[in-house]
Structure 1
Amino acid sequence: MTTGIGARIERKEDRRLLTGQAKFVGDIKLPRQWEAAFVRSPVAHGRIRAIRKPEGMADRVFTAADLSDIRPIRAESSLPTYNASDQYPLASGKVRFVGECVAICIAPTRAEAEDLAEQVEIEIDPLPPVIDALKAREADAPLLHEEWGNNLFLTTFFDGDIETLRKTAPVVVEREYSTARQCMNPMEGKGTLAHWDEKAGQLVVYTSTQVPHLIRTGISECLGLDQGQVRVIAPDVGGGFGYKCVLQPEELSVSWVARKTGRPIRWTEDRREHLVAGANTRQHHYKLTAFADERGRLLGLDAEITVDVGAYSVWPFTACLEAAQAGGNLPGPYDFGTYRCRTFSVATNKPAFTPYRGVARPGVCFAMELTIDAIARAVGREPSEVRKENLVPAGKMPFTNVTKKFYDSGDYPESVAQAERHIGLAGFRARQAEARANGRFLGIGFSTFTEQSAHGTKVFAAWGLPLVPGYEQAMVKITPSGSVEVRSGNHSFGQGLETTLAQVASEWLTVDISRINVTMGDTGLTPYSTGAYASRGMVMAGGAVSKAAEVLAGRVKTHAAHLLQCKPGDIRLSDGKAWFGKAHVGFEDIARAWYLRPDQLPDDVETAGLEVTEGYKPEIDTGVFTYATHAAIVEVDPDTGKVAIEDYYIFEDCGRRVNPLILEGQAYGGAAQGIGTALFEEVLYDANGQPLTSTLADYVLPGPAELPHFRLGHAETLSPYTRHGIKGVGEGAAIAPGGAIVNAINDALSPFGVEINAIPATPEKVLGAILRASAAREAAE
């Protein structure tokens, strides 16, 4: 058999995706369907005084006053100091960011709907906008939500005895770091099509989402419908990255209007809407003080983290997930004993934060990895050597770190050793010196991280979230013709789950994946799941499919044993057949007997049948940890500030590799996004909160010319706590590039006395740092 776990095979779904046969929200067309366009706020902060609809268009233009029976999006949290926000699907009383939905207009075509939106008049009294999260924390800052009395969604505090270290540590390193706000830019933006199905008595919502069952819950609660009256279908989804794992205000507005008008209504996000009003992410500020011994051995860390989370708290993950992840994951893969950290989740007049690939860890990895290099410079040692000495060694696994993260397995220092070897550190310093003598400035940088995946109930409950994931469920069935159906409430939006879930089923049933059909994304057809996020797909959904397929394989053996006149324990499954010695029956024979010729089975046959639904939860509830080290060699042009990546190597360990080909694609794609974070991507605003990066001419994404040829190595340290030893891998490669690349830039620019501590490290920022350092030297002389 060549299609089970470990097989390097092409994805089942790619044929329809690459030939234009896939069906996205924008491809669906229903009878009597109309299109929607939104009127959006032109200012960042202000009170709505009046909204005037075009004459005679009351039944085609709807505002918050019309949608008065909709409950606002309100994500509660049980954490102390948490402030909840009410986000109405259409702004009510006040607007809090440029692009916030104010009215929805419908017409037979999108162009007509947009023309109608242009005719809606809005009167807004501007209020002072809050754009800088650090200033938003000040006592006299304008308030987004006046009832709070401040602009803080949440403050958290990890306590540790830092003061003793401050007095005794031989080495003290202090730094401030910042990461830019980003926009996620999946190939397909958001999209929603809703209609009322009279026969089923259901609101049917087609929406581009990663979490269809969660969206059904959110829509039903906000619209006051029983969940049985709502069916959510996620068709093909063109990327998500976390952007599509929260309840969107547009989903509510479109659903309400569809029910109100009795006709299907669709809205699809255009790229300008996405860049202006889509969820933002990644904007962090760090103040770190690290304490180390004379060799650079980390003793403790004192941190203050400010996260600019925008105007509203998203449902269900809240505005505080980013800071909670940042505070808990800042220590990363390092072994030290003293930690103090305070985090601030700050409201500003920008779109709300949504979880994005890696959730907080690209920021904490950037800050931590630059700090490790700063310690190495302070003690005069090679950064990768200091890094290896500080990482949790393999002999301590499993290991509980200073923030109670439970690292299940792995050899973290070996990942650095592998990266050193493959990037060529041993000969690099001589090559670097020779290049400098010729006026070229090369640098090398490393970045090591852990990726927590398949977080369990205890983790989410500790974050105080209103919805806590539990068991994942899956159904596996043998059809009357002997093929296999798999149904999962999880969903695929580019990560290849249709293929890998089929591979897991094939591992037990031995049927070729060409005969395994995987259905996902429809709450009317699939078992309940909280969906696809946090790299939980293969651990959780794969675990559930594995359990169900294992049980089904046992039933197949029982029926086959009767047909072959032997004991079930004598049956061996191979190539989609049940074998007793050289005799065999095919799955089609077994299925025919069960479905069509039950007279061939014994009178006391087990009636559970050839369809199995099973739930799955890993043996531990704290998640499992993938880890990796990235290494980069860059060249920096000191005359322009331009950074070119000469070489890039990734060594990672994600446990058992279900499909190495898909895993490599995940690594390459994640690293490409991480390079965007490191060098290019930045959402900018002026002092009035107006977005300055509202087109792809302004918001720069890396393309083929900006990306290196990635080289990739793997280890397979199986997790002892999951089925097949699988760990998640979907987010990991996006986490490390910022640290690796900027460490390499700082290494290259060490002759200039330059240290870059903010990303993206654009040519403007790099050149500015060089010029400032030069001016400082001249002034000192």
Structure 2
Amino acid sequence: MTTVIRKYVGMGCRRAEDPRLLQGRGQYVDDLRLPNMVHVAFVRSLHAHARITVPDHSQTRAVPGVIAMVTARDLQGVKPLRADESDLPEYRVTEWPPLARHKVRFVGEAVAAVAATDPAVAEDAADQFPIGYEPLPPVLTIAEAAQPDAPRVHDEWPNNVLMRATGSGGDVAAAFRRAAITFTETFTSEGVTGVPIEPRGCLAALDPGTGVLCLWTSHQVPHILRTLLAEHLGHPEHLLRVVAPDLGGGFGIKSHLYPEELVVASLALQLQRPVKWTQSRREDFLSNVYCRDSRVTLEMAASSDGVVLGMRARSVTNSGAYSILPFGAAHEATGAARQIPGPYRIRDYEYEAVAVVSNKPPRGAYRGVAMVTTTFCMERMLDLLATRLGLDPVEVRRRNLIGDDELPFVNALGVSFEATSFRRSLEEGVRAIGYDAFRARQKAARGTGPLIGLGIACYAEFTAPSATALRARGVRSVPGFDAATIRVSPTGTIQVFTSVTTMGQGLPTALAQLVADECGVRMEDVLVQCGDSSLAPYGSGSWGSRGAVAGGGVVLRAARQIRDKVLAIAAHRLEATVADLVCEDRRIWVRGAPFRSVTFGELAAQANMMTTRLLPEGMEPGLEATACYDPPSVTVSNGTHLAVVEIDPDTGVFGLRRYLVVHDCGTIINPLLVEGQIHGGCAQGAGQVLGEAARYDPAGQLLTGSLLDYPIPRATDLPPQFEIVHLETPAPTTHAGIKGMGEGGTIGAVAAVANAVADALRSAGADGVRSVPVLPEHVLTALGQGPR
């Protein structure tokens, strides 16, 4: 076998894109300028629920600089955003018009659009646009939506239920009959959103010569977006190009089709000139998707020694006004119920998952999606079980986590765990945090000042879902596979075009490390290009922690094709067998005879017929490979988070004093990138406990429409450092044993911080924390229920 000496995978290489970005040479959508470009501003609904009266905008059209004003009547050829059908017995399809036609269903829904030569002129004209409304009673909460006499968000529906699904495995009734203890708890979380540093935006321009419409957009899934644009605009897909330039964060919220992209593209076709829209921060809060607005009721049956015997779950998700493409409402709703067992040995489990509509913006993907909620609920249940039985929370987890000796393990719903380190990650975390010493310190400090608490969260991170997994959850508009093309120039440099996108996570660097090692070249020889639907082959893009699994897997496949051809040429040239060759640092030589060698560049020139040397007989010229890769049904990463908090009992304010993460994402390509992802994910997760939440008044007006009111965490809200322990349990079913890891920081953080607050309250004899965020008033209320 050929010896390929790898030196980059596992190294903390600095991100190749950083110098360009740090020097201000990045190119985001708002940096793009085209001749004769016009700017769009949207007229947005002032009401959560209202009928629209026919507007008269003739006077607004006369404003100097205004080029066009459009309402729903002007977009007759543009189809509404219609979510996928489903074979669930109770499932309803919503239709979201690009511009509201007869009725508005949330504050901020686009009603009209104004195109002008200057963005300020467009915004002023939009502010003056005369839209009339007949207000209707809004439906805002899960409880309101469930009322039999609640106003209907969609008039033709018999109620506000969007979907309902059930599932089970094992004998749940028998598990409850033999249990020594059973109890029920309900947990709630409020809607949160990604708040990327770069809001959304897009620029559309038509090439009149070719008929190609190009859309530059801050987006995570260019190929899927191209297909959806073709379907909704009626424009041939081969005459559409979608380009995602530099993204200032995505977090899942930029993986959807939004009305603004359809309107901007349609205006570019109508006006025959470039059309641009840049989202304001206010619009970011009003019109982007939110996630995790849910209520989960869990019933647990356990033995007297703390072993969970069975569970029942009922999850209700607030899906907002519409089911959004390409994932649809079922993505979060079914995930919220199916993922509750997590890393635990639960063989008897049943669930009901419900999604309801409301007069709020649509709910969609945001980092970790339902896994954040399910981990919070399950980890709180285990702490509450420990309290009821007088056991230590760590010991309860030890007795229920799936062990290495039980692998492969198939849970009650048929999910298979093949290579995980659930117990090991817990033990590493307990050791590194100094668990016993903390408990002794907590006991000694009781009644003497600030309350301290330690929270634990163990989790399974389901990453990189395949086509099979997506179909099982009702997602039909996402293919599941990804693709890459690798081209080697005659001088030996390499270009990689991949369907996965980069949004600040360092993906081009990680992929370059894989390709450089596989081909035996240096990293600086490799250029990775993402985000262009015309350069890269078709694929699913970046979301669901799939960049390294699907993107890395597919570039490895393509790189191995390149390597195999290069080695075949080298073997012919050096008069050796392929098995006798060694490949390293741009050079291939014969094992035991290093003087018999040839450079990678020389072989690339020969492959591209740029030398006098001919190729082996029967070999085609060129050095290019394209590969597709649909990853395994599910790839499971795992970890344990431990958080230490300190509460001021007089104010209810708490702070994070220490945070430790034990994380296992299989083969680590670049530890520097992994740690950066964990840091950011933990910060976002902590923010959901510290105060992030979309708040509305009774009329459905958003009260948290700016960064003054929606408190993303500041540096002072976070611990001085995030301590990280890396474990590596390679996945047996993926290329190079890679697992996803982009969401693990968020998945574990909400539960760990919430459990830490609850632990601190418990040390004061108080009970609490069944919802997030946990605000100071919640802490004070809990303390008032028990002795101080």
From 79, 85, 88, the equivalent of 1:71 is 79
Matched letter for residue 562 of structure 2: L
Alignment partner, residue 685 of structure 2: 674
Contact 1:205 / 1:233 at 8 angstroms: preserved in 2? Answer: yes
Alignment of 1:58-97 (within 5 A): 59-78=67-86, 79-97=88-106
In the alignment, the residues of structure 1 paired with residue 160 and residue 586 of structure 2 have an alpha-carbon distance, to the nearest angstrom, of: 61
Matched letter for residue 723 of structure 1: H
Unaligned runs of 5+ residues in structure 1 are none
Matched letter for residue 454 of structure 2: I
Are positions 1:152 and 2:161 aligned together?
yes
CA displacement at 1:167 relative to structure 2: 4.1
Alignment partner, residue 56 of structure 2: 52
Cα deviations across residues 21-59 of structure 1 (Å, max 9, x unaligned)? 010100111111111110000000011112221426185
In the alignment, the residues of structure 1 paired with residue 136 and residue 465 of structure 2 have an alpha-carbon distance, to the nearest angstrom, of: 41
TM-score, with structure 1 as normaliser? 0.97
Alignment partner, residue 11 of structure 1: 15
Alignment partner, residue 35 of structure 2: 31
Alignment of 1:256-271 (within 5 A): 256-271=266-281
Cα deviations across residues 541-561 of structure 1 (Å, max 9, x unaligned)? 111100111111111112223
In the alignment, the residues of structure 2 paired with residue 756 and residue 464 of structure 1 have an alpha-carbon distance, to the nearest angstrom, of: 33
Alignment partner, residue 178 of structure 1: 188
Contact 1:3 / 1:9 at 8 angstroms: preserved in 2? Answer: no
Are positions 1:101 and 2:121 aligned together?
no
CA change 1:593–1:340 in 2 (3 A) is closer
Q: Secondary structure of 2:195's match?
A: coil
CA displacement at 1:472 relative to structure 2: 2.0
Q: Secondary structure of 2:469's match?
A: helix
CA displacement at 1:587 relative to structure 2: 2.1
CA displacement at 1:593 relative to structure 2: 2.5
Are positions 1:650 and 2:650 aligned together?
no
Are positions 1:139 and 2:143 aligned together?
no
Alignment partner, residue 738 of structure 2: 726
Q: Secondary structure of 2:253's match?
A: coil
Matched letter for residue 735 of structure 2: R
Contact 2:615 / 2:621 at 8 angstroms: preserved in 1? Answer: no
Alignment partner, residue 198 of structure 2: 188
Alignment partner, residue 459 of structure 2: 449
In the alignment, the residues of structure 1 paired with residue 353 and residue 501 of structure 2 have an alpha-carbon distance, to the nearest angstrom, of: 32
In the alignment, the residues of structure 2 paired with residue 62 and residue 601 of structure 1 have an alpha-carbon distance, to the nearest angstrom, of: 62
Alignment of 1:57-456 (within 5 A): 57=61, 59-78=67-86, 79-159=88-168, 161-456=171-466
Q: Secondary structure of 1:354's match?
A: coil
Cα deviations across residues 76-126 of structure 1 (Å, max 9, x unaligned)? 132221101000111111000000000111111211110111121111111
Q: Secondary structure of 1:177's match?
A: strand
In the alignment, the residues of structure 2 paired with residue 742 and residue 530 of structure 1 have an alpha-carbon distance, to the nearest angstrom, of: 34
CA displacement at 1:471 relative to structure 2: 3.2
Contact 2:6 / 2:584 at 8 angstroms: preserved in 1? Answer: no
Alignment partner, residue 706 of structure 2: 695
CA displacement at 1:594 relative to structure 2: 3.0
Cα deviations across residues 131-178 of structure 1 (Å, max 9, x unaligned)? 111220121111011222111110111246444444442111221111
CA displacement at 1:598 relative to structure 2: 4.8
Alignment partner, residue 761 of structure 1: 774
Q: Secondary structure of 1:147's match?
A: coil
Are positions 1:593 and 2:612 aligned together?
no
CA change 1:590–1:269 in 2 (3 A) is same
Q: Secondary structure of 1:148's match?
A: coil
Contact 2:379 / 2:458 at 8 angstroms: preserved in 1? Answer: yes
Q: Secondary structure of 2:131's match?
A: strand
Cα deviations across residues 275-315 of structure 1 (Å, max 9, x unaligned)? 12221111111111111010111011111111111001111
Alignment partner, residue 634 of structure 2: 623
Cα deviations across residues 724-758 of structure 1 (Å, max 9, x unaligned)? 10000011110111211121111111223222111
CA displacement at 1:563 relative to structure 2: 3.3
In the alignment, the residues of structure 2 paired with residue 292 and residue 37 of structure 1 have an alpha-carbon distance, to the nearest angstrom, of: 57
In the alignment, the residues of structure 2 paired with residue 605 and residue 517 of structure 1 have an alpha-carbon distance, to the nearest angstrom, of: 30
Cα deviations across residues 252-285 of structure 1 (Å, max 9, x unaligned)? 0000001100110010111111112221111111
Contact 2:467 / 2:630 at 8 angstroms: preserved in 1? Answer: no
Alignment partner, residue 25 of structure 2: 21
Q: Secondary structure of 2:81's match?
A: coil
Aligned positions, number: 773
Contact 2:609 / 2:622 at 8 angstroms: preserved in 1? Answer: no
Deviates more, 1:144-153 or 1:93-102: 144-153
Matched letter for residue 82 of structure 2: R
Deviates more, 1:273-282 or 1:601-610: 601-610
CA change 1:364–1:463 in 2 (3 A) is same
Contact 2:606 / 2:615 at 8 angstroms: preserved in 1? Answer: no
CA displacement at 1:60 relative to structure 2: 1.2
Cα deviations across residues 393-415 of structure 1 (Å, max 9, x unaligned)? 11111111112111121221111
CA displacement at 1:605 relative to structure 2: 4.8
Matched letter for residue 88 of structure 1: P
In the alignment, the residues of structure 2 paired with residue 113 and residue 2 of structure 1 have an alpha-carbon distance, to the nearest angstrom, of: 55
CA displacement at 1:2 relative to structure 2: 7.3
Give me the identity figure in percent: 38
Contact 1:286 / 1:304 at 8 angstroms: preserved in 2? Answer: yes
Are positions 1:745 and 2:754 aligned together?
no
In the alignment, the residues of structure 2 paired with residue 259 and residue 203 of structure 1 have an alpha-carbon distance, to the nearest angstrom, of: 8
Deviates more, 1:463-472 or 1:521-530: 463-472
Unaligned runs of 5+ residues in structure 2 are none
CA displacement at 1:766 relative to structure 2: 1.2
Cα deviations across residues 693-732 of structure 1 (Å, max 9, x unaligned)? 0111000010110111110001111111011100000111
In the alignment, the residues of structure 2 paired with residue 373 and residue 220 of structure 1 have an alpha-carbon distance, to the nearest angstrom, of: 50
Contact 2:514 / 2:556 at 8 angstroms: preserved in 1? Answer: yes
Matched letter for residue 65 of structure 1: R
Matched letter for residue 400 of structure 1: V
Matched letter for residue 393 of structure 1: G
Matched letter for residue 172 of structure 1: T
Alignment partner, residue 568 of structure 1: 578
Matched letter for residue 281 of structure 1: C
Matched letter for residue 652 of structure 2: G
TM-score, with structure 2 as normaliser? 0.96
Matched letter for residue 699 of structure 1: Y
In the alignment, the residues of structure 2 paired with residue 573 and residue 742 of structure 1 have an alpha-carbon distance, to the nearest angstrom, of: 51
Deviates more, 1:362-371 or 1:403-412: 403-412
In the alignment, the residues of structure 2 paired with residue 484 and residue 626 of structure 1 have an alpha-carbon distance, to the nearest angstrom, of: 31
Matched letter for residue 727 of structure 1: K
TM-align CA RMSD:
1.6
Cα deviations across residues 164-218 of structure 1 (Å, max 9, x unaligned)? 4444421112211111111210111111100111233211100110000000011
CA change 1:595–1:328 in 2 (3 A) is same
Contact 1:540 / 1:617 at 8 angstroms: preserved in 2? Answer: yes
In the alignment, the residues of structure 2 paired with residue 721 and residue 168 of structure 1 have an alpha-carbon distance, to the nearest angstrom, of: 38
Q: Secondary structure of 1:628's match?
A: strand
